[in-house]
Amino acid sequence: MSILEIKNVGKRFGGLQALDKVNLNVAENSVHAIIGPNGAGKSTLLNCLVGKLIPDTGSVMFDGQSMLGRKPHEINQMGISRVFQTPEIFGELSVLENMLIPCFAKRDGAFHLSIMKNMLSDREVLDRAQHMLEEMNMADKHAMHAASLSRGDKRRLEIGMCLAQEPRLLLLDEPTAGMARADTNNTIDLLKQIRDTRDITIAIIEHDMHVVFSLAERITVLAQGTPLVEETPENIKGHPKVREAYLGEAQV
Amino acid sequence: MLQLSKKDSTLLIAVVVLTLLAPVLLNPFPESSALAQFNAGYPDLMQRLVIFGIFAIGFNILFGLTGYLSFGHAAFLGIGSYAAIWMMKLLTMNVIPAIIISVAVAGAFSLLVGWICLRRSGIYFSILTLAFAQMSYSLAYSVLTPITGGETGLQPNLADPRILDSALAEGQTPRANLFGIDMRDTYEVTLADWVFTFNAGYYIAAVILIAAFYMSIRIFRSPFGMMLRAVKSNQNRLNYTGVNAKPYTLAAFVISGMYAGLAGGLLVAMDTQVGAERMFWTASGEVVLMTILGGAGTLIGPVLGAGFIKYMENIVSKINKSILEQWFAVVPDGLQDFLINIIYPFVGKGWHLTLGLLFMMVVIFLPGGLVEGGQKLANLFGRNKTNNGPDSATTPTEQGNEK
């Protein structure tokens, strides 16, 4: 049973066919990685999924509903959360406030005019936010400005903010890019824990093979805007087409 | 108290005390002393201090929280004023309907302007709001003359219908009142060489300022206010967190427009006349200066900034050459001329120069405005008394305020 169905998606930027006839199914409660050399169209594909770009052709279905033409906040409210390449958090707000926002958004929807309430007197939302901070091991940092967190903590916070919304699909765009080895391993452990303890589908775009092979159950290799192969990690490692795509890039 | 945290309650009480005692606090110099011209405790100026305080509080809800810099807020002030004066012409000289309608009309107009301008952000948003304000100004001056009085402006006349009021006798002038209390009613207290003026209009405006300030605290501390700060911090993340930023910014725009309308209505209540120059772009720029000078995004900053600028405008601008000569009367002639020539460009009509220099210094050395200056002073003196770390008093509620 696939939760995300990408059918025949194509996207063209001027003379560049960034995506061409992409077909991809992501099974529910699985971890699906999309890898590929630079310029393969990974980020374009992701942007088509979250409503930032509209594909020229094809369809994207989430849980049987079309996602095309919807705005990012609508797609999020359908149950899709996104983690960015560089952590996108509210730097000027406190860590607790960062966590309160997704909790309010989950309960109150895209817009709720609550002027006369105090943001900290809403027990239900506050408890939920504090619980998520504890789960992310960040409860002791609740009063800090998010901008002053370390890179690894920013990533943890961002993932925690996404999980606070209880998404059905979590999209990760190179979650360990630019991280030190220790932070990368922490992030892998966190994602493993999420995979094993929650009913959640994870789609991950990644450069780092170490991350991909320790997490993914299915891997799709994208090259020049088209899926090359889709296989399990074991079968991908020695796949001739994959070697060709990567080595071909290395020779250039 | 009133569902506020301890720190916010203290701030509110401070504002209440300061506004209610302003007639005394702003008149620290004896009447006969040479410094008496620095006294600001006269009704006309005190009314302006609190009214522009309200204007800046509202502006800060938009600019301080969401970061959207509107360059057209004077338009809402002007429209509020016109709405109020029409209520005084048509209904009654009682200020209540005038003030209510000025808020409502400014709110409706800001909904329209905000709906259009918020399609863009950053400098394009600022330019769009500026365009709207200048358009309103030009229209008020020209084609809308039947409604706005054009160059002459509007004021209540004896011949106006005023359907709720009993007719005035020939020769009487219609006066703004609150159920019979004339806005100009004053009660003077003479203590030795000091004269304190307690004015009805000022106290009505002061009570409204306190209410407006209380509302602003509640908005800052609400989930709504947090979403507005999130808009300023990272709109991209907010969208991908399932929040639609547009209605939030629009609501903030309308609320600040209503505050501007309230200020416009109060201006008319205190001084029953309107002219289009109230909507000129310099008036829009002035509220930006007030907010930044006091500290954008802080609760008390805009009130301080408004008070500071209006004080300068009224007091420093009154210092002329003969007053300077009086001050330096004891200095030898040559030196006296020298000093007067040095200082003269900065006072009187040159007060803008002083304001400009002060503004530059604040922006360069105190980007957080006067509030940051106050905090630095407090830290300087507080450090000797307690050895609390800088973070020990910081809770998430307070951080928004300290930003």
CA distance B159 to B76: 28
Q: Chain B contact for A166, CB < 8 A?
A: no
pLDDT of A185 above 50: yes
**Nearest residue, CB atoms, A50 vs list B223, B240, B395:** B240
Residue B195 DSSP label: E
Confidence class of residue B171 from pLDDT cuts 50, 70 and 90?
Answer: confident
Residue A179: the pLDDT is 83
CA distance B128 to B126: 5
**Nearest residue, CB atoms, B229 vs list A82, A93, A115:** A93
pLDDT of B393 above 80: no
Q: Each residue of B185-226: pLDDT tens digit? A: 889 888 888 889 899 999 999 999 999 999 999 999 999 999
Residue A97: the pLDDT is 95
**Nearest residue, CB atoms, B218 vs list A94, A116, A125:** A116
pLDDT of B177 above 90: no
Min Cα distance A160 → chain B (Å) is: 12
CA atoms within 13 A on the CB side of B85: 22
**Nearest residue, CB atoms, A91 vs list B221, B222, B234:** B234
Burial class (CB in 10 A: 0-12, 13-18, 19+), B58: buried
The pLDDT of B177-190, averaged and rounded, is 87
Residue B348 domain-assigned (yes or no):
no
CA distance A203 to A91: 26
Range of the domain at B196: 6-316+366-381
pTM: 0.91
Nearest to B215, CA basis, from B258, B247, B244, B178: B258
pLDDT of B145 above 70: yes
CA distance B167 to A142: 65
Q: How many CB atoms lie within 10 A of CB A201?
A: 25
Min Cα distance A110 → chain B (Å) is: 4
Higher pLDDT, B384 or B20: B20
- Contact indicator for A4, A26 with CB cutoff of 8 Å: yes
Three-state secondary-structure class, residue B110: helix
Q: Which of A180-194, A208-222, B33-47, B84-98 has the highest mean pLDDT?
A: B84-98
Q: Each residue of B214-268: pLDDT tens digit? A: 999 999 999 999 999 999 999 999 999 999 999 999 999 999 999 999 999 999 9
- Which of A83, A119, A159 is the best mutation test for B, with the most CBs of B within 10 A? A119
The pLDDT of B364-384, averaged and rounded, is 86
* B243 with A73: Cβ contact below 8 A: yes
**Nearest residue, CB atoms, B240 vs list A72, A100, A121:** A72
Confidence class of residue B45 from pLDDT cuts 50, 70 and 90?
Answer: very high
Higher pLDDT, A43 or A241: A43
Report residue A6 CA to chain centroid gap: 16
Chain B residues inside the 8 Å CB shell of A97: 226, 229-230, 396, 399-400
Tell me how many domains chain B contains.
1
Chain B residues inside the 8 Å CB shell of A50: 240
**A118, closest residue in chain B (CA to CA):** B222
* B241 with A101: Cβ contact below 8 A: yes
Residues 6+ apart with CB under 8 A from B180: none
Residue B333 domain-assigned (yes or no):
no
Q: Each residue of A201-229: pLDDT tens digit? A: 999 998 788 888 889 999 998 888 888 88
Q: Chain B contact for A165, CB < 8 A?
A: yes
Q: Chain B contact for A77, CB < 8 A?
A: yes
DSSP structure string for B207-276: HHHHHHHHHHHHHHHSHHHHHHHHHHH-HHHHHTTT--HHHHHHHHHHHHHHHHHHHHHHHHHHS--B-G
Residue B277 DSSP label: G
Residues 6+ apart with CB under 8 A from A250: none
Residue B276 domain-assigned (yes or no):
yes
Confidence class of residue B1 from pLDDT cuts 50, 70 and 90?
Answer: low
Residue B170 domain-assigned (yes or no):
yes
Retrieve residue B240's tokens: 């991908």
- Contact indicator for B72, B133 with CB cutoff of 8 Å: yes
Residue B396: the pLDDT is 37
* A101 with B239: Cβ contact below 8 A: no
Confidence class of residue B169 from pLDDT cuts 50, 70 and 90?
Answer: confident
Query: Is the Cα torsion angle B161, B166, B167, B171 positive or negative in sign?
Result: negative
Across the strands, what pairs with A197? none
* A97 with B226: Cβ contact below 8 A: yes
Retrieve residue B59's tokens: 């502006």
Min Cα distance A118 → chain B (Å) is: 4
- Contact indicator for B264, B279 with CB cutoff of 8 Å: no
Least confident range from A12-16, A156-160, A241-245, B279-283: namely A241-245
Residue B331 domain-assigned (yes or no):
no
**Rounded (5°) CA angle B192-B195-B200:** 145
* A101 with B244: Cβ contact below 8 A: no
Residue B360 domain-assigned (yes or no):
no
* A116 with B222: Cβ contact below 8 A: yes
H runs (alpha helix) in B91-222: 95-117, 122-141, 145-148, 200-221
**Nearest residue, CB atoms, A82 vs list B240, B243, B247:** B240
CATH number of residue B120's parent domain: 1.10.3470
* Interstrand relation of B194-199 and B186-191 (parallel, antiparallel or unpaired): antiparallel
Least confident range from A4-13, A123-132, A221-230, B85-94: namely A221-230
CA distance B85 to B89: 6
CA distance B233 to B374: 25
Three-state secondary-structure class, residue B52: helix
Min Cα distance B240 → chain A (Å) is: 5
Residue B120 DSSP label: S
CA distance A21 to A10: 5
Retrieve residue A219's tokens: 């891997």
* Interstrand relation of A31-35 and A201-205 (parallel, antiparallel or unpaired): parallel
Residue B31: the pLDDT is 85
Min Cα distance B239 → chain A (Å) is: 5
- Contact indicator for A157, A111 with CB cutoff of 8 Å: no
Retrieve residue B125's tokens: 């948003």
Confidence class of residue B384 from pLDDT cuts 50, 70 and 90?
Answer: low
CA distance A30 to B310: 64
pLDDT of B399 above 60: no
CA distance B232 to A3: 34
pLDDT of A103 above 80: yes
pLDDT of A248 above 70: no
CA distance A34 to B45: 67
Query: Is the Cα torsion angle A171, A177, A179, A181 positive or negative in sign?
Result: positive
Residue B41 domain-assigned (yes or no):
yes
**A107, closest residue in chain B (CA to CA):** B242
Q: pLDDT over 90 for what percent of chain B?
A: 61
Residue B55: the pLDDT is 97
- Contact indicator for B307, B327 with CB cutoff of 8 Å: no
Residue B55 domain-assigned (yes or no):
yes
How does B317-354 read in b/e, with b if 16+ C-beta sit within 10 Å?
A: bebeeeebeeebeeeeeeebeeeeeebeeebbebbeeb
Rounded to two decimals, the ipTM of the complex is 0.90
Give me chain B's average pLDDT, please: 89
Q: Chain A contact for B3, CB < 8 A?
A: yes
The pLDDT of A95-101, averaged and rounded, is 96
CA distance B280 to A70: 41
Chain B 298-317, residues with CB within 8 Å of chain A CB atoms? none
Q: Each residue of B303-335: pLDDT tens digit? A: 999 999 999 888 888 888 888 888 888 888 888
Confidence class of residue B383 from pLDDT cuts 50, 70 and 90?
Answer: low
